[in-house]
Structure 1
Amino acid sequence: MSHLLWFHAPAADWFEALPLGNGHLGAKVYGGVADERIALNLDDVWSGDGPRSLEVADGPAVLADVRRSLLEDGDQLAATERTRSLQGPLVESYQPLADLVIRSGGTATAYRRTLDLSTGVVGVDYTVDGTRFRRETFVSAPDQVLAWTITADRPAAVSLGLCLESLHPVSVEVAEGTYGVVGRAPSDLTIEYRDRPDPIRYEEGRGIGFGVALRVVAQGGDVTTSPAGVAVRGADQLTVLVAAASTFAGWKVPPGRDLSAAFAKATATLDAVDVDKLRARHVEDHASLYDRASLELGPAVNLPTDERVRAVAAGGNDPDLVALAFNLGRYLLIASSRPGTQAANLQGIWNQDRRPMWASDWTNNINTQMNYWLADLTGLSECFDPLTDLLEGLAASGAETARILYDAPGWVSHHNADIWRATWPVGDGGDDPVWSMCATCGVWLTAHLMEHYRFGLDADFLRERAYPVIAGAAEFVLAMLVDDGEQLQFIPSTAPEHHFVLPSGEKASVDLTSTYDIWLIRELFANLIEAEGVLGLSSSLAERAAAARDRLPAIRVTPDGRLHEWPTDWQPSEPQHRHQSHLYGLYPGAEIDPLRTPEWAAAARTSLELRTDGAVNGGWTAAWLVALWARLFEPSRAVAAIQDYLSRLVSDNLMHRDGDIFQIDANLGMTGCIAELLLQSHTDVIRILPALPPEWPDGSFHGLRARGGLTFDITWRNSTLTQAAVHATHPGTHQIALPTETRTITLTPGQYLHLVTPT
């Protein structure tokens, strides 16, 4: 049952509701019978009224002060505090849209609620007064609508009422059988961790507007549309269609002011739907992505998902639940990131609050990146497109930020971004530099562009979209490097979100080049040089990058065998800190490898052991640990992190939950990191089952991808590889490390080669 979530009761709250989406329109389905609620989101409905200005008048002078404090005075605390003067406005917040509310009568029995990952359809089956009903909900990408259907096993049994509700001020629209609402998101909003007497502010004519349109197609019965909603009486069956549109017109300009235009666009979307073909078109589109890859582990378990989660929390081993979580991650990326949509944010496209945690923004010191670790690896290259769009916007916006703050060429992006493409350190002087002052977040993001090329080998993508962004980041970094007389330092530098403790007992976070930044800059320069090699270029920029790379601070190991986190082996403020940034070179980077760099790998292992000793992990941290242990060939430690995650950090529907916090990076990241146990291709040798957990003696996967345009199908029984095949999209010669031998193979485009055949 690794493609089906199912339950005997409706969702108790928003966290447990089942997710649907097409990248643009998102929905959480509760599955109630007498009172159903489907929470709606639209990916481009955010607070704010257009791009803001960065009002920092003396950025270069502040930067000079920071560098002087570090290089001449050795005063990390003064440097940390001085960087507050570089902070710009806080980010705006992703918003809920509206709720579709459906009310009907009766008490349900024989209830079953399902989410079929393979079709993207939520089903609710139940009996009321002897009549069997089935409801289905899906969100179509081809037709850009939410569809809700209900059928019954006797005629004239469907009677119900529908309406739309919103946390935002809305007005009702009724015209020619279409019911809907129009409204605006807040024009200004204070992020949830800041206090203000009026944190949510609506202003007439300002803010992103939206229109939501609803239409009912019924067989039999009577349908009445009024300002109160839609009433259906005595129908045999019906289909409810919902479409939505916003007045967002791009990150560079204020949103449109005409709410009627948004409603008209939503109505036109409804007009274009062929109801008879709607479900088939949706399933075909969804399956074209979902069916490319899957994971099966152990025997199928046919129990309700919530019961299985509780069993694992009680100490049980359920490999099939791990496979279900893996496949759910792929499903969620399909639902939250499609070509032409916004990139998946901190909550994907699902959010119930006007002031969500951390603004439900793009948090770019790991969380945004983690959302996309699985994309190419699990065959969802199209779902990567919105991340490229985001980076291109950040590069354009970040060029102005680099000029204003640092008098530097190229572009920069710091810790947080929103739909208006904020790229500066946020906080207006009031946020802690430990997270705000992270000037290499854009550098990390560019690594994804090069990785995307390595998986798909699309030279046009590399030339037209990836290379300009990578080159711009390199220009910025080169301009920021300072010669301290011995080596080149990137200043200011931090280890994301982690303070160090000074001898005085005070905490600071800004220093000379952190190990995290060394890894990122080394990788950036290497990627630039590799890209130019592929494209037949030979620029002075790449020559300067190569020379600078050789003069960066060395990766250092402490006397007790750990990797340095900062240039001085400061006391960490949190020895079990959630970020493992100094281990970037192990994962998602590729410089640390137990077989190629054993000393670095040993230091990474020691660092990781100390970091995790007694730690209570959060969701995305658990996912990262899985990949780090996988790269160190420590499968049982990776499985322990997965078991802990499934025991404490998910709702009954396997969506991440830590108290009242939901972050989709945990779900998406866990899928990408589980794959590292089964297939690795970050070195010049592709490793099959490199860290197979003994807890998963039987299993298979199909469609996992390796760099170089390769796709693998693998089966194992009793922890022994029994079947292996590879498909190539491009010509090439590859080294393949099987569990018992290493082979060199040469493949042609379209070739499907059996490496191990069943006996």
Structure 2
Amino acid sequence: MNQAKLWYNGPGAGWKQGLPIGNGRIGAVIYGGASQETWSMTELTYWSGKPERIPGSGKGKAGLEEMRAAFFNGDYNEGDRLAKQHLQPKKQNFGTNLSVCDVELRFGPEGEELKRELCLESAIATVSYKSEGSSFIRETFATHADGIVVSRIKGEQQGGISFSISVKGRTGHFSAIATNDDTIAFYGQATEEMHSDGSCGVFCRGQVKIVAEGGTIQSSGSEIIVTDADEATVYFAIHTDYRQTDDEWMTRSTKQIAAAIAKGYTRLKADHIADYSALYARVSLDLGDTDHAKLPTDERMRRLQNGQQDDPGLIVLFFQYGRYLTIAGSRADSPLPLHLQGVWNDGEANRMAWSCDYHLDINTQMNYYPTEISNLAECHVPLMNYIERLSASGRHAAQDFYGCEGWVAHVFSNAWGFAAPGWETGWGLNVTGGLWIAMHLKEHYEYGLDQSFLTKQAYPVMKEAASFFLDYMTVHPSNGWLVTGPSNSPENSFYTNNRSEGPQQLSMGSTMDQVLVRDLFSFCLEAAGLLDTDLELQEKLRAAIALLPPLQIGKNGQLQEWLEDYEEAQPEHRHLAHLFALYPGNQVTPRGTPELSAAAEQTLIRRMTDELEDIEFTAVLFATGFSRLFDGDRALRHINHLVGELCFDNLLTYSKAGVAGAETNIFVIDGNYGGTAAVADILLQSHAGEIHLLPALPAAWASGSFNGLRAKGNAEVGVSWEAGILTGATIHAYSAVPLIIRYGDRTATIACEAGQTYVLDASLHLIDREATAK
């Protein structure tokens, strides 16, 4: 059976059929077949552009007062004009992550019985086939343990391996040359002219080296030719000068490959699997056995597309694939977090108005939705470090554009921590974009309860964000509420009472802003109390929280997206930013706020029009929204739609052509990560002070089990169920905190001790307690 494998019985015609591997810095998508193979190579720091301080208009708070006066007086067009004048910088050298190169391998004639597979348990991509009566196998992996990509090519007969290999650059400033018979050295600079001036960008140096047993190796120009070898191993290494202070990076690839060759392939592979499986093996999920795992992955996807929803194993595969992609793309020592395409890049986003960057109005956040619950907290660390650096550049943005203390960032960012508004206020003036991404500091702390992390990283960064909003926000003259603005509800638009003015995007006090600010102030108040610090700030926060607007229900029964009950200009819009209050936040819950929950449900239902902008992250927003409303059947419907309708054959998610200017179905990885989080949320929720078991179990998942999912309060959870009913649960506690366990209407409170495992029966009665195995 192939429960933990993506596999295909034919060649991968192109990138969208390729299999992704990665080590948290280097990414590769491998496609082709028996006669040829291409590795599309990427590196997380290979960015065009450069660090720049973007100047503001210099009017600061005085400019804000002018804009706000216009909005408060109902003159939205004048407010928009002033915002463009004061808060709309020109695009400069923002840059984008770029593909580095293609490694091209050419073999002999076409083979038979071709099988391509990606094993999620070992993180190894394999191609096997027969040719001229002999069997061949190629296995390739990106090892985090040794920092390189390795591939071994073998046949069952001695002298049966012959191939050529070359390196082709994906950017204009790139060269590759064979430095001796077994090595290709390459050099490049990440330059392009869509998102920067074509002259600035990170430099890279790398190397491809071949080691063969038997046969001959010779070079011809920039190509290496292997003839009649018994087997061959290919080593690929790359490094860049990103944030480097000396020239040591220029020789790092050579040293890594030399060390890998000295270690030998067998040890490299064993160390890779051990390093990877230490993370991957933490979580198991079983939703019932079927025979469909015997089918190739693309055939299983076609079945789902055709309405055959009897393959829960495909959802398990998608879930574990998301965890695999997290480990492959984001490790504790990764120099940058996951971008729009993770650590991979097909080049599509870079050739149009999109950018392969850090979108801060859903995409980057969604990339990290599954890390904590799916027991990959270490993979969250690169984002924590990036947010801290972003806050540093965000201090300049707060001063330059608003004349405020603290820090702010907006709709997107880059490798150097760009924090200014985007170059069009309609989508670029998302004043809580930085705050939204900073909420991951709160999430990371609530799951792990790491006091050192809270003291040294989470609280200082969040405190400075709170300082900005305390300084920046203003009291609404009509109702006395403390509001943000001018800002937008990400990328959405509305009509005022004067519809003749046309669609508007900027307003005061959007719901998204208020939800995030309330969570920020509440977290900082709680953390300051826990750390016994900043008494004056605590008083300011209490006073500010009391003035924040409440969540409101509009005339159509929906959760209002704006402070006023505006009419949506695009009822089919892809963004649902204000539902952060439902997921991943918890200001709206079915038990705590039933009326607001009904309004959130109405928002979801109203958005599902025939004209819906149907893209990967919207499917996730529906799935997680219905999961939080305990409607598992609806949540699963949207997960099935994501997997069956919004994935390429390699199970990577995409945004449909035509949405937000996409010229083709374009790979965006947040659907993979968000879909993984949605599956987990159906099975386990931990918010609003409770660990909720099977909160939204769909009828299609009648029996099953999971183990190793993580809950807030530093606990791991295992659950089993039959015929839709809980049969038992285990709670592995890693901190001495009380935990409330819920199943349906039943609750139990456990006064946990660190290092203890608590076994519960179907009625949540404690039936056993033992030391947690490490």
**TM-score, normalized by length of structure 2?**
0.92
Among 651, 661, 684, the alignment partner of 1:654 is 651
Residue equivalent to 2:333: 340
1:515-551 Cα shifts (integer Å, max 9, x gaps) = 1111111111001012112222243222211111111
Within 5 A, what are the aligned runs for 1:171-250? 171-175=175-179, 177-186=182-191, 189-191=193-195, 202-203=198-199, 206-249=200-243
Deviations 1:634-675 (A, max 9, x none): 111111111211221001121113343111111001111221
Letter in 2 for 1:180: A
Does 1:67 find its partner at 2:57? no
Q: Could you give the per-residue CA deviations for residues 603-633 of structure 1, whole angstroms, max 9, x where no partner exists?
A: 1112221122433521111112111101111
Residues 1:392 and 2:388 aligned together: yes
**Equivalent residue letter for 1:315:** G
Matches within 5 A, 1:413-424: 413-424=409-420
Letter in 2 for 1:185: A
- Aligned equivalents of 1:297, 1:143: Cα separation in 2: 35
Counterpart of 1:239, as a letter, is T
Summarize the alignment of residues 717-756 of structure 1 with structure 2, pairs less than 5 Å apart. Answer: 717-739=722-744, 741-756=746-761
CA contact (8 A) 2:642 2:675 kept: no
Q: How does 1:445-524 map to 2 (within 5 A)?
A: 445-485=437-477, 486-502=480-496, 503-524=499-520
Aligned residue-pair number: 735
In the TM superposition, what is the alpha-carbon distance from 1:226 to its structure 2 partner? 4.8
Q: Distance in 1 between matches of 2:67 and 2:3?
A: 53
Shift of 1:357: 6.2
Q: Which of 321, 325, 338 lines up with 2:318 in the alignment?
A: 325
Unpaired runs of 5+ residues, structure 2, are 657-663, 768-774
Query: Cα distance, 1:201 vs. partner?
Result: 5.3
Structure 2 partner of 1:264: 251
Q: Match of 2:540, SS?
A: helix
| Cα root mean square deviation, aligned | 1.9
In structure 1, the residue matched to 2:772 is none
Residue of structure 1 in register with 2:687 after alignment = 682
Counterparts of 1:588 and 1:550, CA distance in 2? 23
Of residues 306, 311, 334, the one that matches 2:298 is 306
Instruction: Report what 1:442 is aligned to.
Output: 434
Within the candidate set 144, 147, 154, 1:151 is matched to: 154
Mapped to 2, the partners of 1:119 and 1:587 lie a distance apart of 32
Q: Match of 1:111?
A: 114
SS in 2 for 1:705: strand
Give CA-to-partner distance per residue, 1:1-58, whole Å, 9 cap, x none: 331100011212212211000110000010422121000001000111x211212233
1:285 paired residue among 270, 275, 297: 275
Q: Is the 8 A contact 1:525 1:542 kept in 2?
A: no
The structure-2 alpha-carbon separation of the partners of 1:226 and 1:245, relative to structure 1 and needing over 3 Å to count, comes to: farther
Shift of 1:232: 0.8
Distance 1:44 1:417 in 2: 14
CA contact (8 A) 2:329 2:343 kept: yes
CA deviations 1:364-418 (Å, max 9, x no partner) are 0111111111111111011001101110111000000100000000000000101
User: What secondary structure is seen at the aligned counterpart in 2 of 1:346?
Assistant: coil
- For the pair 1:166 / 2:155, whether they are aligned, the reply is no
1:668 and 2:673 are equivalent in the alignment = yes
Match of 2:104, SS?
strand
Instruction: Please state whether the residue corresponding to 1:623 is helix, strand or coil.
Output: helix
On the 8 A contact 2:101/2:170 being kept in 1, the answer is yes
User: 2:405·2:467 contact (CA, 8 Å) conserved in 1?
Assistant: yes
> What stretches of structure 1 of length at least 5 have no aligned partner?
192-199
* Cα pair 2:573 2:613 within 8 Å, conserved: no
The residue type equivalent to 2:625 in the other structure is: L
Q: Report the secondary structure of 2:682's partner residue.
A: coil
Match of 1:98 among 92, 98, 101: 101
Asked if 1:380 is matched to 2:367, the reply is no
Q: Distance in 2 between matches of 1:167 and 1:607?
A: 44
CA distance in 1, matches of 2:145, 2:100: 21
- The residue aligned with 1:87 is 88
Q: Displacement, 1:746?
A: 2.0
Aligned amino acid, residue 67 of structure 2: V
Describe the superposition over 1:104-133 as per-residue Cα deviations: whole angstroms up to 9, x where unpaired: 111210110000011100010100101100
The residue type paired with residue 430 of structure 2 is C
**Residue deviations 1:699-718 (CA, integer Å, cap 9, x gap):** 22111011001101112222
Does structure 1 retain, via aligned residues, the 8 Å contact 2:169–2:175?
A: no
Within a 5 Å distance, the mapping from 1:5-16 to structure 2 comes to: 5-16=6-17
Provide the secondary structure at the position in 2 that maps to 1:240.
strand
Return the match for 1:643 from 620, 623, 640: 640
Name the CA distance, whole Å, in 1 between partners of 2:232 and 2:650: 27
> Which of 309, 329, 344 in structure 2 is aligned with 1:350?
344
Distance in structure 1 (CA, Å) of the matches to 2:299 and 2:599? 40
Letter in 1 for 2:55: E
TM-score using structure 1 length: 0.94
Deviation at 1:356, TM superposition (A): 6.2
Deviates more, 1:266-275 or 1:140-149: 266-275
Aligned partners of 1:405 and 1:627: how far apart in 2? 35
SS in 1 for 2:759: strand
* In 1, Cα distance between equivalents of 2:744 and 2:71: 50
Q: More displaced, 696-705 or 518-527?
A: 696-705
Q: Percent identity?
A: 34
Sort the Cα spacing of 1:172 and 1:605 in 2 relative to 1 into closer, same or farther, 3 A: closer
Secondary structure of 1:454's counterpart equals helix
